[in-house]
Structure 1
Amino acid sequence: MSDERFEFSRRLGQAMSAAGYEPRPATLFRLFNARYTGRSVSFQSASRWLGGRSIPEQDKLQVLAELFGVTPQALRFGESTTRVAEARAEWNRMGARERAVIDTYLALPARQRELVGELVKALAQTDRKSTR
């Protein structure tokens, strides 16, 4: 049994227990198939998930997460103490004028933001062509 599958089965069992269910294949099988709109899974699949022998596909993982009140990411990968974040250095170099423009842009209705985006793309393409 791989560590990844074992850790997933441990998290699944904990999520079931925290939601008030006994982490047993029969319970998981019944709960999952009552909620899942696709082709039902077999008892053996539920047993493999809880036994650390397999990890469900993403659509099934999402249903499991909803059933037990956790995020699919936490169920699949565990809680992470680190976050992936965008580097913000260029945002820190912006002046007040640029920030005001962005704030004004964000206040526009969605369709107008789309138009502004198209205009910016067109200007950038024109600028690239003229610098060649």
Structure 2
Amino acid sequence: MTKIAELNEIDEIADGDLIYVRDVSDPAKPDKKAPSSKVRPAGARITNHFRFAGNVAIAALAAGVEVDATVTVTGAVIRHASFDIQPPASIAVLSTRVSANDTLSIRFRNLHASSAYAGGNVAYVALVSRSV
């Protein structure tokens, strides 16, 4: 029989993890396992939020030109990520999207009519929300 004190503790339950159960109704074989989905009632959803902060490199932009930049955000999948940034003056964020798992793509545009943007790193915050 497995002793609870000898088991390692985990930080959080992930998809596919199994829970050890000591089934007192079966004294001959009390060691059992249960998927984490049986721990919560049917229909219940568990939502995890992950916040990422970092810098995104914006390439040099001529006046009126657009450029895409990508950042790695672990856990980002389609429809589960939001992005916040305070762009430099005359630079607009046209769109953000999850272009591949764990990757956000951000499209920037230089709105200035005649001046180029020299490029640089800009701080951002990304939020990933996942429900199981």
Q: Under a length normalisation based on structure 1, what TM-score does the superposition of the two structures give?
A: 0.19
| More helix by percentage | 1
Q: Under a length normalisation based on structure 2, what TM-score does the superposition of the two structures give?
A: 0.19
| More strand by percentage | 2
Task: Tell which has more relative contact order, 1 or 2 (C-alpha 8 A, sep 6+).
Answer: 2
